[in-house]
Amino acid sequence: MSVIRKEPFIRICNLHQSFGDQEILRGVTLDIFHGETLVLLGKSGGGKSVLMKHLPLLLRPTQGHIWIDDVDITTLRERQLGSVRQKVGMMFQNGALFDSFTIFDNIAFPLREDRSLSETEIKRRVDEALCTVKLAGQGSKFPSEISGGMRKRVALARAVVDLPDCIIYDEPHAGLDPVTGADIDELIKDLQRDKGITNIVITHEIRSAFRIADRIVFMLEGKIYWQGTVAELQTTEDPLMRNFIEGNPSIWGDSWRLSFFALQEGLSSFVDLGIMGELGTYKHLLAALELRMDFAHGLRLCTCNST
Ligand SMILES: Nc1ncnc2c1ncn2[C@@H]1O[C@H](COP(=O)(O)OP(=O)(O)OP(=O)(O)O)[C@@H](O)[C@H]1O
Ligand SMILES: [Mg+2]
């Protein structure tokens, strides 16, 4: 049984990151508490994955600090990072499975990479991880032989197998039907409850966020724009967040992405973009949607009919 301790396990302080002249993180400050499930929301391309890749120090910040268990990991050298990476497991956005490895070998990979565990111990841990994600007995298959939902589970098993204190799930619901997505949510909450794991979940699925989050954090313009509980999100007066939660649940992810384009580009260019530009992929949605948007500067109602 897990208990959320109101003391930070991870402290991110004024984190900056740039690629070339593109400034992605502009001073992110955030505490993540022991044993909580934190859901990270934000627009596509806004830097959620980049931010989270700093926790196992797969990326080093250009400025700012990260403390994990009171150790400033940004000051550590590469060879000192083994213990940090063992504490923070990551389920990557694309699964990042090796197609030529069996499921068993994919999950065993982090154990074999830099540890001196015996093959017997590796087999015990991999079998346990397979059991945790409800894939017992499937280890001899190859990634090409299993469904998308099962691939997510394998990626999760690989994140779990090294017994981390914290797991980052980068879009665990992407490409899954709602039922399979709900199964993943259940696994995430099981890990929190049964193993006391601190969960950080990046998702565009608001239904899942409401189902699993102890706290929700919203990123905008390279910073944390809003944070609070599910109940606080449901009652917030913030116009941008209200727009976010009042969208149509069945097309939620796309609807709020569209809204962000609108906020950033201005209404007219949004319509132009929607019809002929970058949002062309959402044409079918535009056709079906009556999209309402609260703007921070006042209420404007936008009705999009693409016909
Ligand atoms: N290694 C890299 N080198 C250069 N640019 C990068 C690198 N990684 C990410 N970026 C850029 O940083 C920006 C933020 O990317 P990121 O993957 O963090 O977005 P995201 O918020 O996770 O989006 P999504 O919701 O679509 O996954 C993007 O413009 C991306 O192209
Ligand atoms: Mg991402």
Give the pLDDT confidence of 226-264 residue by residue, as tens digits: 999 999 998 888 888 887 777 533 333 444 445 444 544
Q: Residue 203: CB within 6 Å of ligand 1?
A: no
The per-residue pLDDT for range 131-167, each reduced to its tens digit, is: 888 888 889 999 989 888 888 889 888 888 888 999 9
In the chain, domain spans: 5-235, 239-300
Q: Supply the residue whose CA is at minimum distance from atom 14 of ligand 1.
A: 47
21, 24, 218: residue to mutate for ligand 1 pocket, most atoms within 8 A of CB: 24
In three-state secondary structure terms, 273 is helix
pTM for the model: 0.78
Q: Count CA atoms within 13 Å of residue 192 on its CB side.
A: 24
Which residues touch 250 (CB under 8 Å, ≥6 apart)?
none
Query: Phi, psi (5° rounding) for residue 114?
Result: -140, 30
Q: Residue 44: CB within 6 Å of ligand 1?
A: yes
Secondary element (H or E) of residue 89: strand 88-91
pLDDT of residue 174: 81
Q: Residue 221: CB within 6 Å of ligand 1?
A: no
pLDDT at 81 over 90: no
Q: Residue 19: CB within 6 Å of ligand 1?
A: yes
Q: Supply the residue whose CA is at minimum distance from atom 26 of ligand 1.
A: 44
pLDDT at 19 over 80: yes
Residues near ligand 2 ion, CB 5 Å cutoff: 49
User: What is d(CA 213, CA 192) in angstroms, rounded to the nearest whole number?
Assistant: 11
The per-residue pLDDT for range 39-60, each reduced to its tens digit, is: 999 888 889 999 999 998 989 9
19, 21, 44, 264: residue to mutate for ligand 1 pocket, most atoms within 8 A of CB: 19
Q: Count CA atoms within 13 Å of residue 261 on its CB side.
A: 20
What type of residue is 226?
W
Q: Supply the residue whose CA is at minimum distance from atom 27 of ligand 1.
A: 44
Ligand 2 center to 49 CA (angstroms): 4
* CATH for 5-235, options being 3.40.190.10, 3.40.50.300, 1.10.10.10, 3.40.50.150: 3.40.50.300
